């Protein structure tokens, strides 16, 4: 069976990293060790062995210092820098396609830094376009026993579903502290949720909220979510005891089938439409340029740099990307950027690139080439 990807997303404190640790050990106990990727640059220590770790490539504190950023800005910037080499990450994972059944990915606890950033979309879409990909949305069960808090969390899950357009499993974590039976009931029985909402309002002395704008808003959202729940699988797990992880893996297998049947075809359709629109846009821009120059030739010269090798075209040798790990971890760690020393991945005052100068030089070079090409075309047209 081909490798499938599970991207773990959750609010800070939901137990996401502990969930990753338990899932990793559970799969290893079944002799199906997963391929593990850590995308949290700010974590000091992870309780599992990672095959690819963003911290090998990006030094979070140096990013904060050199770019004068706060914690969240540094996380977003680190993900932006990492996403520029996502093609190499995908190639490393593709090499493990036959030897691993699952690739599990841990994301930053600051959920908005990953879900709503451009780099998060690039990373997610890169995996989703290559492997069957499932989103595991981790929920802190004890903190969602209130109907209003539960609804707020489900609305966030809804927004992630429609942002990523990928199959989603809602994982109610910490069931050893609080059982998730109430959540399953609320997700399958609209009247039960309404009764719990009224009871919560009466208990907290907010019975006046049952009428007017607030009552209408709450009722409308709960009705909308009832339709949303039909697109989800719900699983209760305990990262502390390991309870429910067999159910989670079964849900992943079901969602992989759903991905192949629905999401893959939809994504291919969207990508094809984007490609067609981009092709038409380029043709329109070229026609406009030709009209501006007064050139009516039907044929256009092929760009000199077309087909030139770029970073994503470079091949990776079989032994590239390997990094020695401590013996007690027992995990083959792969360095993200093949052919580079570990220290070169660090961003500091000595090797920090002058991005503005690079952009300016590149712009001037392209502008000079374009000007000379335009002059040549005009002279050619005049001679004709």
For residue 355, with 0-12 CB atoms within 10 Å meaning exposed, 13-18 middle and 19 or more buried, which class applies? exposed
What average pLDDT does the segment 290-300 reach?
Answer: 61
Q: Which of 215, 196, 259, 208 is nearest to 233 (CA)?
A: 259
CA distance 322 to 180: 42
pTM of the model: 0.70
Q: Name which residue leads in pLDDT, 300 or 364.
A: 364
196-243 tens-digit pLDDT? 878 877 776 554 444 446 656 766 777 777 777 877 889 999 999 999
CA distance 131 to 340: 27
Q: Tell me, yes or no, whether 261 lies in a domain.
A: yes
Mean pLDDT of the chain: 78
CATH code of residue 185: 3.40.50.300
Run of H or E including 342: none
What is the pLDDT at residue 299? Answer: 46
Q: Name which residue leads in pLDDT, 378 or 191.
A: 191
CA distance 343 to 324: 15
What average pLDDT does the segment 88-105 reach?
Answer: 92
Run of H or E including 37: strand 35-38
Confidence at 306, pLDDT banded by 50, 70, 90? very low
Res 373 pLDDT > 70: no
Structurally, the chain folds into a number of domains equal to 1
Res 357 pLDDT > 70: no
What average pLDDT does the segment 101-119 reach?
Answer: 91
Q: Name which residue leads in pLDDT, 282 or 245.
A: 245
38-48 tens-digit pLDDT? 999 999 899 99
Confidence at 62, pLDDT banded by 50, 70, 90? very high
Q: Tell me, yes or no, whether 291 lies in a domain.
A: no
Res 303 pLDDT > 70: no
Q: Tell me, yes or no, whether 321 lies in a domain.
A: no
Q: Which of 152, 50, 160, 70 is nearest to 114 (CA)?
A: 160
Res 109 pLDDT > 50: yes
Q: Tell me, yes or no, whether 302 lies in a domain.
A: no
What is the pLDDT at residue 300? Answer: 45
CA distance 313 to 96: 20
What is the pLDDT at residue 345? Answer: 45
CA distance 15 to 125: 25
Place of tokens 């399958």: 188
What average pLDDT does the segment 148-164 reach?
Answer: 87
Contacts of 226 (CB under 8 A, 6+ apart): 190
What average pLDDT does the segment 4-20 reach?
Answer: 92
Confidence at 55, pLDDT banded by 50, 70, 90? very high
318-339 tens-digit pLDDT? 444 434 444 445 666 665 555 5
What is the pLDDT at residue 262? Answer: 80
Q: Name which residue leads in pLDDT, 223 or 126.
A: 126
Q: Name which residue leads in pLDDT, 342 or 265.
A: 265
CA distance 290 to 155: 50
Q: Tell me, yes or no, whether 32 lies in a domain.
A: yes
Q: Tell me, yes or no, whether 161 lies in a domain.
A: yes
Cα-flanking dihedrals φ and ψ of residue 5, to 5°? -110, 135
- What percent of the chain has pLDDT above 90? 40
Q: Tell me, yes or no, whether 276 lies in a domain.
A: no
Task: Give the domain range for residue 53.
Answer: 4-205+216-268
Range with the poorest average pLDDT among 6-15, 162-171, 197-206: 197-206
Contacts of 243 (CB under 8 A, 6+ apart): 175, 176, 236, 237
Q: Tell me, yes or no, whether 350 lies in a domain.
A: no
Mean pLDDT comparison of 157-171, 210-224, 293-307, 358-372, highest-scoring range: 157-171
Strand partners, 136: 8, 169
Q: Name which residue leads in pLDDT, 274 or 244.
A: 244
Name the H helices within the chain. Answer: 16-29, 60-67, 71-83, 86-94, 111-115, 118-128, 147-164, 181-188, 190-203, 212-229, 245-258, 264-293, 355-383
């Amino acid at each position: 069976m081909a490798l499938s990807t599970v991207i773990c997303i959750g609010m800070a404190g939901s137990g996401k990293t502990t969930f990753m640790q338990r899932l990793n050990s559970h799969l290893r106990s079944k002799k199906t060790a997963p391929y593990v990727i850590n995308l949290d640059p700010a974590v000091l220590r992870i309780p599992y062995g990672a095959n690819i770790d963003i911290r090998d490539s990006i030094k979070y504190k140096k990013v904060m210092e050199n770019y004068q950023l706060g914690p969240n800005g540094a996380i977003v910037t680190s993900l932006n820098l990492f996403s520029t080499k996502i093609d190499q990450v995908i190639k490393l994972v593709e090499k493990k396609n036959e030897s691993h059944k699952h690739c599990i990915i841990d994301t930053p606890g600051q959920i908005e830094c990953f879900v709503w950033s451009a780099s998060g979309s690039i990373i997610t879409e890169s995996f989703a376009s290559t492997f069957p990909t499932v989103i595991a949305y981790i929920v802190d069960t004890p903190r969602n026993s209130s109907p209003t808090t539960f609804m707020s969390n489900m609305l966030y899950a809804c927004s992630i579903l429609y942002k990523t357009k990928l199959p989603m499993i809602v994982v109610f974590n910490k069931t050893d502290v609080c059982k998730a039976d109430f959540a399953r009931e609320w997700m399958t029985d609209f009247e039960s949720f309404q009764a719990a909402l009224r009871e919560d309002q009466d208990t907290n002395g907010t019975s006046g909220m049952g009428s007017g704008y607030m009552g209408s808003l709450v009722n409308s959202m709960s009705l909308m979510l009832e339709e949303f729940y039909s697109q989800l699988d719900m699983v209760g797990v305990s990262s502390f005891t390991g309870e429910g992880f067999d159910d989670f893996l079964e849900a992943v297998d079901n969602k992989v089938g759903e991905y192949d049947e629905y999401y893959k075809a939809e994504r291919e359709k969207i990508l094809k439409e984007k490609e067609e629109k981009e092709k038409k846009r380029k043709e329109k821009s070229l026609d406009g340029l030709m009209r501006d120059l007064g050139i009516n030739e039907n044929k256009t010269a092929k760009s000199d740099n077309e087909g030139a090798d770029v970073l994503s075209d470079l091949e990776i040798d079989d032994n590239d990307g390997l990094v020695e790990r401590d013996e007690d971890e027992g995990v083959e760690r792969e360095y993200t950027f093949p052919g580079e020393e570990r220290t070169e991945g660090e961003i500091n005052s000595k090797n920090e690139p002058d991005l503005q100068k690079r952009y300016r030089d590149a712009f001037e070079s392209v502008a000079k080439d374009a000007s000379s090409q335009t002059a040549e075309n005009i002279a050619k047209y005049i001679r004709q």
